[in-house]
Structure 1
Amino acid sequence: MWYLGSWMFPVISAAMWLGMLLGMFIYWEAIGHPIYPSMDRGQTIAYISDVGAYKLKPLFIAGACVTTVFLDLGFLAERWLRHAGRLAPNTSRAQKVLSVIAILFAIAGSAGLILLSNFDTYHYPRLHDAFLLLFIGGYWFSAIFLCAEYQRLGIHYRSHHILRLSFWVKLTFIIVEFVLAVVFASTSYTGKPNVAAVFEWVVALVFTFYVLSFLLDLLPSVRTSHHQPQGWALKAEMEKAHHGGQQPGAPLTNDSAGPNQNRHVAPGDDLEAGAYRGTSMTNGPGYPAEHNDLGRQKRRGIGRLWS
């Protein structure tokens, strides 16, 4: 059933992540912008980690776990569906290696997010920062390798524009997230915690759109009454091209045996005018037969075909 397909993994992941962020932000707004003990001097805008270090810590942990588990399931499902042929298959070993490396970095990013939610910024500030770096870096590098794979897939399957669209979406995420992360880190370590807190919330929101981008990758594998999985449609296109658009078993031409298929040759017939197969090709009457014009044969692409 199409509505229970793997495309639901990124939807569940993004919904949980966005719901967690909204829940934490609305809570912080509703209780009057409190100043938490983990906040820096002069800081009035709370980090996500500040809100998630106290009463909402269970929500933070649950949101991190559900988000990463279902996102990783989306990574694994994409790899399996491409291997099984429901998505456009990889065309080289390099593409498969890129996909596996992307999955490994995604798992590392998942571990970073789960660990930073458990080791909160109030009780374990150094560990929390280290796991935050692992979370951001893991998914950022994962996106780079996945983007490289899709760039190669898009070149090979030019008719499947969704592969190219997925590549550009992931490339946009790589660039935007890198710029935002640099601004977040620089403002955080230069004594501008309020600016850094705003950019941390923005980085988290952009990550939501990255998770949803996997719909572009997994939806083509869905089978409905009006849609065939991408890999099946591609296989049908290749078979049609291989058979020249004709029914299986039909001859490639109307007369695959040549123009003289049904011609009866009697002994002594003059076949020079008909260029019948088996006749030596010479430079003309009176020229010795042993000096066949091999250069002319090669120029016309004949070679040894007539021997």
Structure 2
Amino acid sequence: MAIFSHPHHHWAYVWIPVFGSFVWFGMLLAMIITWAAQGGGRYAWQDSSVPYISDIGASFLQPLFIAGCSVTSASFILSLSIERLLRHHGRLHAHLRKRERAFASLSILGAVVGGAGLILLSIFDDKNHRSAHDAFLLVFIVGVALSAIFTVVEFRWISHNYIYVRQVRIAYVAKGTIAGILIILAIAYAIAFSLQPDAGAVLEWVIAFGYTLYLLTFAYDLRLSKGVHKYELSGREPKAPPPAMSQNHVV
């Protein structure tokens, strides 16, 4: 089956994760540049020498922080939801078992939980609502981590249903690698947060910028639907290609 047989059948939703990644990366960059341009001093509510993202986000840049987190959360949830819809309609390799559909739904639920945590931690700032802020930060990290794990498992099972799925394998290996590294860094961040606040702040910035890469993997996923009509990829492919006919075969 030729996946790219309809080159004009393509929608703008492919740009949703790209836009979300651009907004997230741009917000982080603008925040750290603004802090450096102001002299790189410590805020009154800052506990470490290196500012955490939330320290800068609690300053006059809070509107930017809230807007950036909201757009990023929406694009993350939309990307997963659209991908689920494309698989349901057979424009991406479809789910053939209940477990794949279940894990797809769980990944979206994790994204909703993580996205809500991200928006709420930006609203309940580190300056005036520290306890609530830390709680919502934990919700964000756990939600996104679970969503990533569910997505990787879903993709892994999908790859067992089809023989021509190099793109799906690339997708879940990329997601699994990036998510695995970020989860390990998040564990290190949780430890450093209490023991070495400066190291924790550096790790938080690294994780945040790394999250951009994870968001971008969904642009690759959605791009695979380009040129694919409805229900084109909705059936089970054979486990192995049929044997080639012998040249000596007599009709």
Instruction: Tell me the percent identity.
Output: 37
Letter in 2 for 1:31: Q
Where does residue 207 of structure 2 map in the other structure? 203
Give the counterpart of 1:46 among 38, 47, 51: 51
Larger RCO of the pair (alpha carbons < 8 Å, separation 6+): 2
How large is the RMSD of aligned CA atoms in angstroms?
2.4
Where does residue 138 of structure 1 map in the other structure? 143
Residue 100 to residue 236, structure 1, CA distance change in 2 (3 Å): closer
- Does the alignment pair 1:176 with 2:174? no
Q: Deviations over 1:122-155 (max 9, x none)?
A: 1011110010010011010001111111001112
**Map of 1:222-237 to 2, 5 A cutoff?**
222-223=226-227, 228=228, 232=232
**Map of 1:2-151 to 2, 5 A cutoff?**
4-40=11-47, 43-151=48-156
Shift of 1:216: 2.3
Q: Which secondary structure does the structure 2 equivalent of 1:155 belong to?
A: coil
Residue 221 to residue 163, structure 1, CA distance change in 2 (3 Å): same
The answer as to whether partners of 1:5 and 1:222 remain within 8 angstroms in 2 is no
Letter in 2 for 1:56: L
In 1, distance between residues paired with 2:235 and 2:184?
41
The answer as to whether partners of 1:88 and 1:231 remain within 8 angstroms in 2 is no
What is the number of residues matched between the two proteins? 237
Shift of 1:92: 0.5
Unaligned runs of 5+ in 2: 1-7
- Does the alignment pair 1:212 with 2:216? yes
Q: Deviations over 1:18-52 (max 9, x none)?
A: 01000101101111102101111xx2211000001
* Bigger helix fraction: 2
Residue 185 to residue 233, structure 1, CA distance change in 2 (3 Å): closer
Residue 10 to residue 2, structure 1, CA distance change in 2 (3 Å): farther
| TM-score of the aligned structures, taking structure 1 as reference length | 0.72
Shift of 1:13: 0.8
In 2, distance between residues paired with 1:124 and 1:178?
26
Q: Deviations over 1:151-199 (max 9, x none)?
A: 0111222312010111111211232112111111111111x21111100
Shift of 1:229: 5.5
Q: Deviations over 1:258-294 (max 9, x none)?
A: xxxxxxxxxxxxxxxxxxxxxxxxxxxxxxxxxxxxx
In 1, distance between residues paired with 2:114 and 2:233?
34
In 2, distance between residues paired with 1:19 and 1:212?
14
Letter in 2 for 1:204: A
In 2, distance between residues paired with 1:134 and 1:236?
38
Where does residue 275 of structure 1 map in the other structure? none
Q: Which secondary structure does the structure 2 equivalent of 1:217 belong to?
A: helix
